[in-house]
Amino acid sequence: MKSNPHLGKPLYYLSQVASVTFILTFLELMRGRLNNALIVIDEAHRVLNRYVVGETIIEKLIREGRHDKALLTLITQNPLDLKHNVLDIVGHYVVFKLNGKSAVEASSLLGVDNEELIGLRPLELYYHNTDFTVRAYLLEDGDYDYAEASSTIYRKLLDRINDTNYVRAVIKRFGRALDPVIVPQVLDLGSRLGYDVKSIVEMAIRRDPRYMELLSRVVIGED
């Protein structure tokens, strides 16, 4: 007796529809209880594909989740299949190695050459937000360090050094991941000692001993 190769397909599609319906319904019902929640949706293109019409609860959470302190993370290997307006409203992107049309689409979003994405090595990635794009690495080994990503962020700081709110926001968000580290307390201590913000950032970039002394005093709690 021959098996019918098409027999399982309706059940497969039904299970996919049921999964998507469950996810959307669950999030809709739980929306008021998602304070301080981390929501991770893998294979996001199955839930937010380009054929979905209207705004879903996921898009509402992306737009409004910050008010409820809800963090939504979408994971996909098929960015071309996502709704285009979703890419427009997401604030942060982490992009690993891509090929073909996906690399072209993502490179346009990041503002880098698509060959850069095709050539990414394991654990290598691009991070992108509305302010800047940096190339980074998940792990540091003998060949890699964080100098490239750090120098890019430090250059952005210098470009907008007179925008105090921007500088402090970037340092608060990324400063502990930079090389060398820079934190708001260093700016405060440096200001009390007569340094302006630009001088402190420039000293950090040069790894000036005076900056390292400021950082040390903050770390050991001397000031």
Are 92 and 125 within one domain? yes
Is 3 part of a structural domain of the chain?
no
Are 131 and 68 within one domain? yes
Are 21 and 131 within one domain? yes
Is 2 part of a structural domain of the chain?
no
**Among the three residues 137, 159, 176, which one is the final residue of a domain in this structure?**
137
Name the band, by pLDDT with cuts 50, 70 and 90, for residue 20.
Answer: low
Farthest CA pair distance, the chain: 88
Mean pLDDT of 96-112: 85
Mean pLDDT for all residues in the chain:
78
Are 91 and 61 within one domain? yes
Are 118 and 73 within one domain? yes
Element (H, E) at 4: none
| 161 in Cβ contact with 201 (< 8 Å) | yes
- What's the whole-model pTM score? 0.53
Are 81 and 128 within one domain? yes
At residue 22, the 3 state secondary structure works out as helix
- CA-based Rg of the chain, rounded to a whole angstrom? 22
Torsion of CA 45, 91, 137, 105, to 10 degrees: 50
Residue with the two structure tokens 């050991």:
220
How many domains does the chain contain in total? 2
pLDDT tens digits along 190-216: 999 999 999 999 999 998 999 999 988
Residue 75 structural domain: 9-137
Is 24 part of a structural domain of the chain?
yes
Q: Decide if pLDDT at 22 tops 60.
A: yes
Q: Decide if pLDDT at 42 tops 70.
A: yes
Is 55 part of a structural domain of the chain?
yes
Give the pLDDT score at 198. Answer: 93
Between CA 189 and CA 209 the distance in angstroms is 15
Are 88 and 191 within one domain? no
- CATH number for the domain harbouring residue 75: 3.40.50.300
Give the pLDDT score at 14. Answer: 47
At residue 40, the 3 state secondary structure works out as strand
Is 142 part of a structural domain of the chain?
no
The more confidently predicted of residues 222 and 168 is 168
Are 91 and 130 within one domain? yes
Are 37 and 117 within one domain? yes
Give the pLDDT score at 68. Answer: 63
**Among the three residues 82, 112, 137, which one is the final residue of a domain in this structure?**
137
CB burial readout 178-197, b (16+ within 10 A) else e: bbbebbebbbebbeeeebeb
Between CA 121 and CA 96 the distance in angstroms is 8
Give the pLDDT score at 7. Answer: 43
Are 171 and 97 within one domain? no
Are 163 and 58 within one domain? no
pLDDT tens digits along 140-181: 554 545 556 678 888 889 999 999 899 998 888 888 778 788
Is 4 part of a structural domain of the chain?
no
Is 71 part of a structural domain of the chain?
yes
Could you please report the per-residue DSSP string of 104-143?
HHHHHHHTS-HHHHHTPPTTEEEEE-SS-EEEEESS--SS
CA end-to-end distance (rounded Å), the chain: 82
Give strand pairing partners of 72. 39
Is 97 part of a structural domain of the chain?
yes
Mean pLDDT of 101-113: 85
| 17 in Cβ contact with 23 (< 8 Å) | no
Burial class (CB in 10 A: 0-12, 13-18, 19+), 37: middle
**Among the three residues 82, 106, 137, which one is the final residue of a domain in this structure?**
137
Are 32 and 71 within one domain? yes
Mean pLDDT of 29-33: 70
Give strand pairing partners of 95. 126
pLDDT tens digits along 113-134: 888 888 887 778 888 887 778 8
